[in-house]
């Protein structure tokens, strides 16, 4: 399965509208201190948001499948892009009343988050440029 995202600049600022899989629109922007209007998260802020939402969703799906009540589930992600390698700390906040076995199982499930696994596995990138005329631009060399 392939996923797609297309970002389009909105006006002359730093705000972008991002179409995700042709079904959803997200807005990104930079803070005013960088010349944006802060109308949405900066693009690099989406990485910890992606990880938090992914882990939370995996845990919620598992709990729902087992009939466990998790009304107070929260996943916090602290992302530090200033170190090499970049560092993320994921904090799984579960409600009171779960057994030790339930907590252990939910911890394992949070580790299966597809976004986290993809980041751990690494990426291979390719890039191409298409000129406004539709012809591929010459490669820089």
For the chain, the domain total comes to 2
Over residues 64-118, the pLDDT tens digits come to: 999 999 989 999 999 999 999 999 999 999 999 999 999 999 999 999 999 999 9
Given a cut of 70, whether residue 41 has pLDDT beyond it is yes
Instruction: Please indicate, yes or no, whether residues 36 and 93 belong to a single structural domain of this protein.
Output: no
Q: Which domain holds residue 47?
A: 42-123
35 shares its domain with 93: no
Q: What is the pLDDT of residue 137?
A: 58
The answer to whether 88 and 76 have CB atoms below 8 angstroms apart is no
11-20, 44-53, 80-89, 131-140: which range is least confident on average? 131-140
- The distance between the two most distant Cα atoms of the chain, rounded to a whole number of Å, is 62
Is residue 134 domain-resident? no
Looking at the structure, tell me whether residues 35 and 59 fall in a common domain.
no
Q: 28 with 59, same domain?
A: no
Q: Are 32 and 46 within one domain?
A: no
pTM: 0.85
Residues 6+ apart with CB under 8 A from 82: none
In a domain, 1, yes or no: yes
Together in a domain, 118 and 65? yes
């Amino acid at each position: 399965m392939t996923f797609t995202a297309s970002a389009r600049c909105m006006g002359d600022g730093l705000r972008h509208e991002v179409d995700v899989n042709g079904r959803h629109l997200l807005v990104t922007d930079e803070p005013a201190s960088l010349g944006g209007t802060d109308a949405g998260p900066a693009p690099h802020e989406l990485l910890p948001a992606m990880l938090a939402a992914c882990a939370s969703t995996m845990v919620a799906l598992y709990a729902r499948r087992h009939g466990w009540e998790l009304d107070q589930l929260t996943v916090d992600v602290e992302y530090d892009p200033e170190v090499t390698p970049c560092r993320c700390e994921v904090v799984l906040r579960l409600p009171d009343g779960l057994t030790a076995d339930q907590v252990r199982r939910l911890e394992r499930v949070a580790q299966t988050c597809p976004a986290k696994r993809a980041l751990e596995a690494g990426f291979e990138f390719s890039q191409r440029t298409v000129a406004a005329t539709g012809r591929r631009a010459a490669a820089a060399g």
